[in-house]
Amino acid sequence: MISNFNTSYAITHRGVVRQLNEDSHVEINSHNLWVVADGMGGHEAGEVASQLVVDVIRAKVQERDLKDLTVSHIVSAIEEANKQLNDYSSQYLENKTAGSTVTALFVKDGKYYILWVGDSRAYLLRNGVLTQVSRDHSQVNDLIDEGIISVEEAKDHPLSNVITRAVGVMENVNVDVIQNDIKTGDLFLLCSDGLTGELSDDEICLSLEPSSIIDSGMALMHSSLVRGARDNVTCIIVKYDETKSNQHSETFNIQDEATIPLFTK
């Protein structure tokens, strides 16, 4: 059986304005799982919240081999992170909210799965066409769906930083999941809204054109910083190729030293 060949590149930066980086991410290449989380800067301990989310997911996932891992296990891990964040808020923050978005990519048996809560996004670049796979859990997106505002009006809308769903803000969390067939050459981008707040989808697509995912990641980060990077910026790029005979993954990470629910961030 031919193994999957996944190459990933992760990059994160606190941005130009923020003093702390409240984004977190994890690459679990051994389990074909990649995660980005964006802590809510408008609340207490956003950096703790996002790190807790990725830590819980990593710990729960690594309890199993890839052959036994299912999407349901990843959903359960996010639900466990939600519980732990609520407990943390109650014990240490006098019930003030410590919340986080999360978006994840899981690949198994010829399928890709996107899981998310909040407005951190997942994109798929296939045959030169960029598609946003996730759907923002945001008040602005709800207004677009209701026909109240246009996509163009949403870009500078005063409610652009208000999300309607997050991990750690309610007793229960609802995780959205989308699955589809994966194809050789597919390129996935997971990112916090610090990137999408600065770059349009067309600009993101242009940055993803280089054959090297390292070059693409650096281009995305450079472009967002040049624009002023008002928020933390985190990206994971994953390239899929099933033609290699042996499973192989390369991980890179450049660290530098926000999101609100209805909730604001």
Residue 20 has pLDDT above 50, yes or no: yes
Please report the pLDDT score of residue 243 as a whole number. 66
Residue whose entry in the numeric block shows the structure tokens 């407990």 = 87
Residue 11, domain CATH: 3.60.40.10
* Terminal alpha carbon distance of the chain: 46
Residue whose entry in the numeric block shows the structure tokens 């019930």 = 95
Range of the domain at 258: 5-264
Residue 245 has pLDDT above 60, yes or no: no
pLDDT-wise least confident of 81-90, 91-100, 177-186, 204-213: 91-100
pLDDT class of 94 with cuts at 50, 70, 90: confident
Distance CA 132, CA 114 (A): 11
pLDDT class of 160 with cuts at 50, 70, 90: low
Please return the burial class of 227, using the count of CB atoms within 10 Å of its CB with bins 0-12, 13-18 and 19+: middle
DSSP 75-124: HHHHHHHHHHHHHHHHHHSTT----EEEEEEEEETTEEEEEEESS-EEEE
Residue 163 has pLDDT above 90, yes or no: no
Residue 214 has pLDDT above 80, yes or no: yes
Q: What is the pLDDT of residues 45-63, one digit of tens each?
A: 899 999 999 999 999 999 9
Report CA torsion sign: 90, 12, 206, 159.
Answer: positive
Residue 250 has pLDDT above 60, yes or no: no
Structurally, the chain folds into a number of domains equal to 1
Residue 248 has pLDDT above 50, yes or no: no
Please report the pLDDT score of residue 6 as a whole number. 62
Distance CA 56, CA 51 (A): 9
